[in-house]
Amino acid sequence: MWRETLEISIINQNRTVLDWNSKQLIKHNNQIEVFATRIIKNKKLRKVFVISIGSLMYCQTVLAKTDMTKINAGGYMILGIVQNVGYWIVILFGSLDIIKDLMQGDTKNVGKILMKYSFGYASLYLLPTMMDLIKSIFA
């Protein structure tokens, strides 16, 4: 009959501190019970223990991929869409504000409206350029 064995290892600073298998667990049953009751009674320790055990169940070897060309291409495509949508929003709302002020007979605010929407639209191009400049400074 095949039987699965349970092994528990406690590792501290890359050294194995304690190594248990299922036969030794029966011998150390009282110590495990004391340890478990301390964890159950302490609410903060119980949360840490549950999160630690839960995250250990999902641990996998993960290798980071450094090729960012697809992410950059997608980001630049989204940026282009935002800039094109911003272009039409600035033209539409800027025109509406200018027409609204002209209908009220106020021609002095037309320059302010033009500058406001021009700076708003320029920021859609200035922000990515500034981020690239910062990245090149700290790279």
Whether residues 21 and 42 fall in one domain: yes
pLDDT digits (tens, 9 = 90+) for 44-64: 888 888 887 777 666 555 555
Token pair listed for 105? 């007979």
Gap between the Cα atoms of 14 and 78, Å rounded: 45
Q: What's 139's DSSP letter?
A: -
Range of the domain at 95: 69-138
Give the Cα-Cα-Cα angle 22, 24, 30 (nearest 5 degrees): 105
Whether residues 88 and 124 fall in one domain: yes
Nearest-CA neighbor of 38 among 30, 24, 54? 30
* 37 is a domain residue: yes
pLDDT at 19: 58
Token pair listed for 137? 């400074």
Whether residues 47 and 74 fall in one domain: no
* pLDDT averaged over every residue in the chain: 79
Number of helical H runs and strand E runs in the chain: 5, 2
Q: What's 85's DSSP letter?
A: H
* 133 is a domain residue: yes
Residue 94 has pLDDT above 80, yes or no: yes
pLDDT at 52: 79
Residue 57: CB atoms within 10 A of its CB come to 7
Whether residues 22 and 49 fall in one domain: yes
pLDDT at 2: 44
Residue 117 has pLDDT above 80, yes or no: yes
The last residue of one of the domains, among 57, 80, 96, is 57
Gap between the Cα atoms of 49 and 39, Å rounded: 8
Question: If you average pLDDT over residues 75-102, what whole number do you get?
Answer: 93
Rg of the chain in Å (alpha carbons): 32
* 104 is a domain residue: yes
Q: Phi first, then psi: what are they for 20, rounded to 5°? A: -115, 145
Total number of domains in the chain: 2
